[in-house]
Amino acid sequence: MTERTRDARGSVKRHDARPRIRRIPTPVRDDSRMATQAAELVFDEATKLYEGRGEAAVDRLSLTVPAGEICVLVGPSGGGKTTALKLVNRLIALTSGDIRIDGTSIMEHDLTELRRGIGYVIQQVGLFPHMTVGANIGTVPRLLGWPKQRIALRTEELLELVGLEPDDAKRYPAELSGGQRQRVGLARALAANPPLMLMDEPFGAIDPIVRMRLQDEFMRLQRELRKTVVFVTHDIDEAIKIGDRIAILREGGRLAQYDTPAAILERPADDFVAQFVGEDRALKALALRRLSELDLRPVAEADGAPRIRDDSTLRDALARLVAEKSDYLLVVRADGTPAGAVAREDLLR
Ligand code: ADP
Ligand code: MG
């Protein structure tokens, strides 16, 4: 406060030469949850060759992630997923090629500024064990010099956003379950509202049931936040579930296919992709579509047939047909009114 004094009315006076900007009380929810801030991310022949290794870890990777979309990097262990992610925030230096965020090369960014604009979530979370949950979440805002009250409000808001209790702010990481720690990691990465999020197997160490819930909540969050997200996993089902697009990497960090989940399941580029997505890919493709998207038959064709909600997936419908040993289902809307009929052959086309 050496440069400032208070006048008689108690407002702060600046003694520097900058134009005086009237101080507005800190807005409570200024740049936070409703902001639709996102950046386009472009990998342009991005290549990483670790020293002393004959083969590239990431080999001329080119792909564009449109602003506000989730791109899932998936592939076998050692396929270069983590390396590709760390190239973006320059934890690993590019050997050749370029990566651009909203058109600007990452090499042109000041390193600190670059990393502040990128939220980073990893599997072991990397929470500071000697700091409370609240202090962990406030890490970046503190570095940015936010006033205490604003940090406290933001922390409270983030805890709610990721499904934790306000009281959890006072706890230490060791007192939390794996799933809770992962939520804290996500909250911390979101704290300064970065336009780009990098997530490296964030739910990899979580048991299947909690993991499914975290996936669902992450997807709900993303519908609200609309960040650009690069999400790494080795689990193709997780990729299909959460990705707007999926990039499949093969050994040596070469891109095998970059497409929507439906396109990858319906038209795998080669045998490697077909094998990676699994022999049940036709069933997985059915799980991506809902009965409400079909041209249904007249209601009369399903006379006496079992009923199914129109928000069910085609896969659920097929399972139902098999279980009921039926050829038809009556499709009903949420309010119970019939929407039409679906036949087994409609699903198998
Ligand atoms: P993924 O995350 O898909 O499992 P990684 O990006 O971790 O793959 O690794 C890709 C390849 O690069 C692997 O062959 C791995 O052994 C190698 N690698 C990863 N990190 C280093 C490093 N720091 N030094 C040398 N080689 C590395
Ligand atoms: Mg990895």
Specify the ligand 1 atom closest to the Cα of 52.
25
The verdict on the CB of residue 50 being under 6 Å from ligand 1 is yes
What are the backbone angles phi and psi of residue 315, rounded to the nearest 5°? -65, -45
Q: From ligand 2's centre to the CA of 126, what distance in Å?
A: 15
Mean pLDDT of 148-153: 93
pLDDT at 24 over 50: no
Q: From ligand 1's centre to the CA of 225, what distance in Å?
A: 31
Q: From ligand 1's centre to the CA of 83, what distance in Å?
A: 6
pLDDT at 198 over 50: yes
Q: Which of 47, 49, 50, 95 to mutate to test the pocket of ligand 1 (most atoms within 8 A of CB)?
A: 50
Specify the ligand 1 atom closest to the Cα of 86.
6
Q: Which has more confidence, 210 or 79? A: 79
pLDDT at 14 over 90: no
Q: What angle, rounded to 10 degrees, do the helices at 178-190 and 148-161 form?
A: 130
Which listed ligand is nearest to 124 at the C-alpha? Answer: 2
Report the CATH number of the 291-348 domain.
Answer: 3.10.580.10
Query: d(Cα 191, Cα 292) in Å, to the nearest integer?
Result: 38
The verdict on the CB of residue 78 being under 6 Å from ligand 1 is yes
Q: pLDDT category, 203, cuts 50, 70, 90?
A: confident
Taking a C-beta distance cutoff of 8 angstroms, is the pair 234, 201 a contact? Answer: yes
Mean pLDDT of 7-14: 43
The verdict on the CB of residue 77 being under 6 Å from ligand 1 is yes
The verdict on the CB of residue 81 being under 6 Å from ligand 1 is yes
Taking a C-beta distance cutoff of 8 angstroms, is the pair 133, 119 a contact? Answer: no
Give residue-wise pLDDT tens across range 254-296. Answer: 999 999 999 999 999 999 999 999 888 888 899 889 999 999 9
Q: From ligand 1's centre to the CA of 133, what distance in Å?
A: 31
Q: pLDDT category, 26, cuts 50, 70, 90?
A: very low
Query: d(Cα 127, Cα 152) in Å, to the nearest integer?
Result: 18
CA-nearest residue for atom 27, ligand 1, is: 50
pLDDT at 53 over 80: yes
CA-nearest residue for atom 21, ligand 1, is: 50
Mean pLDDT of 180-191: 89
Mean pLDDT of 4-12: 44
pLDDT in the model for residue 322: 94
DSSP per residue, 48-101: E--TT-SS-SEEEEEEEE-TT-EEEEE-STTSSHHHHHHHHTTSS--SEEEEEE
pLDDT at 29 over 80: no
Specify the ligand 1 atom closest to the Cα of 51.
25
Apex 35 CA angle, 32 and 37, nearest 5: 115
pLDDT in the model for residue 178: 84
pLDDT at 204 over 90: no
Give the H/E segment covering residue 160.
helix 148-161
CA-nearest residue for atom 5, ligand 1, is: 80
Give residue-wise pLDDT tens across range 68-102. Answer: 999 999 999 999 999 999 999 999 999 999 999 99
Residue with tokens 């702060």: 12
pLDDT at 67 over 80: yes
CA-nearest residue for atom 25, ligand 1, is: 50
The verdict on the CB of residue 79 being under 6 Å from ligand 1 is yes
Give residue-wise pLDDT tens across range 95-150. Answer: 999 999 999 999 999 998 899 889 998 877 678 999 999 999 998 899 888 999 99
Q: From ligand 1's centre to the CA of 235, what distance in Å?
A: 18
Lowest-pLDDT range, 21-35, 88-102, 166-180, 183-197? 21-35
Specify the ligand 1 atom closest to the Cα of 76.
3
Give the CATH number of domain 41-117+194-285; options: 3.30.1540.20, 3.40.50.720, 3.40.50.150, 3.40.50.300: 3.40.50.300
pLDDT in the model for residue 258: 98
Domain boundaries, the chain: 41-117+194-285, 291-348
Mean pLDDT of 218-234: 92
Domain 41-117+194-285 identical in fold to domain 291-348: no
